[in-house]
């Protein structure tokens, strides 16, 4: 599991401890008036290094549990590349989306704004900012990289649920929408994105929708085909992606009770909140 630790800048020790205990963190907002450019460089570097270390630990554990053959170096490398690409691209994209919000906040000394710029803000802090500053349009509330660990997001899921309720919102169980990401035909394997509405909050500026976003790895190698015959053909054939959607959706309820499943495993989970005018996430 990749533990996303917050960047420890100039903020209270209590907040630092809270963010570390929570074991997840939203990507910091890029606020040049608050964040020292050097801190930003350090955060960007360290966050990518944490992704690498977490992935290495996850794959080491996976070998010990028999999820992947320790002797199959080619498969390990290909799987690691797919997971790394998914985590890194997602992180870099959010860094880009979080840039330069200085002109929105009228009080840069607001503790919530400072924590948002340091990566220590909790979902309640970030949702409060979005409600108070609708020109933000969209903010990430929480994020956790957890390759091959289906139970890791439980604390984060609970915190986001409580945050929605605390703001007078309504919990939703929206219809999932899947999107294919990267294919690796040599395995074959691929990464997919699953998004769905999990809440909505009425505000004076309009309705805020809270979305969950999950990334999964699908494998079609020999070991995976023993669980799901012909899955390799479905991964390779883009026109059969709808079949993969149904298969993943059917598997998810039982994945926690059967974490050794080879053909599908989680990579990361995040939540973001947006107004209807938000740019496409």
Going 95 to 101 to 102 to 108, the CA torsion angle's sign is: negative
State CA 64 to chain mean position distance.
25
Alpha-carbon gap, residue 175 to 49, rounded angstroms:
35
User: What are the structural domain ranges in the chain?
Assistant: 13-274
* pLDDT value of residue 99: 75
16-49 residue pLDDT tens: 222 233 479 898 887 665 566 777 777 778 888 8
Q: Which long-range contacts (CB under 8 A, 24 or more apart) does 170-179 make?
A: 170/199, 170/200, 170/201, 171/198, 171/199, 172/197, 172/198, 172/199, 172/200, 173/198, 174/198, 176/245, 176/249, 178/241, 178/244, 178/245, 178/248
User: Around Cβ 72, how many Cβ atoms within 10 Å?
Assistant: 15
Looking at the DSSP bridge assignments, the partners of residue 20 are: none
- The pLDDT tens digits along the chain (281 residues) read 333 333 233 333 322 222 233 479 898 887 665 566 777 777 778 888 888 888 888 888 888 878 888 888 889 999 999 999 999 988 888 888 877 676 788 777 889 998 998 889 999 999 999 999 999 999 999 999 999 999 999 999 999 999 999 999 999 999 999 999 999 999 999 999 999 999 999 999 999 999 999 999 999 999 999 999 999 999 999 999 999 999 999 999 888 888 789 999 999 999 999 999 654 45
* pLDDT value of residue 52: 85
- Residue 158: both structure tokens together: 């609970």
From residue 165, alpha-carbon distances to 120, 158, 160, 210 in Å are: 21, 11, 9, 12
- Residue 229: both structure tokens together: 């015959």
pTM, 2 dp: 0.86
Share of the chain above pLDDT 70, in %: 87
């Amino acid at each position: 599991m990749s533990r996303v630790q917050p960047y420890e800048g100039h903020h209270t020790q209590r907040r630092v401890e809270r963010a570390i205990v929570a074991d997840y963190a939203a990507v910091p907002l890029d606020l040049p008036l608050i964040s020292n450019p050097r801190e930003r460089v350090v955060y960007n570097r360290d966050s990518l290094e944490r992704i690498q270390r977490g992935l290495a630990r996850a794959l080491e554990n996976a070998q010990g549990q028999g999820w992947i053959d320790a002797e199959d170096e080619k498969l390990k490398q290909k799987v690691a590349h797919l997971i790394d690409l998914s985590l890194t691209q997602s992180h870099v994209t959010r860094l880009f989306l979080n840039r330069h919000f200085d002109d929105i906040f009228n009080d840069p000394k607001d503790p919530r704004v400072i924590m948002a710029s340091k990566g220590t803000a909790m979902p309640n802090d970030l949702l409060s900012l979005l409600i108070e500053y609708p020109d933000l349009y969209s903010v990430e509330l929480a994020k956790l990289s957890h390759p091959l660990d289906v139970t890791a997001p439980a604390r984060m899921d609970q915190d986001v649920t409580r945050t929605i309720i605390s703001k007078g919102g309504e919990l939703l169980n929206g219809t999932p929408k899947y999107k294919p990401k990267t294919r690796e035909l040599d395995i074959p394997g691929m990464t997919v994105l699953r998004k769905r509405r999990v809440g909505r909050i009425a505000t004076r500026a309009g309705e805020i929708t809270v979305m969950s976003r999950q990334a999964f790895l699908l494998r079609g190698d020999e070991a995976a085909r023993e669980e799901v015959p012909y899955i390799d053909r479905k991964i390779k054939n883009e026109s059969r992606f709808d079949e993969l959607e149904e298969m993943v959706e059917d598997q998810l309820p039982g994945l926690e009770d059967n974490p050794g499943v080879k053909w599908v495993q989680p990579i990361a989970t995040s939540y973001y909140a947006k107004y209807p005018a938000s740019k496409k996430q």
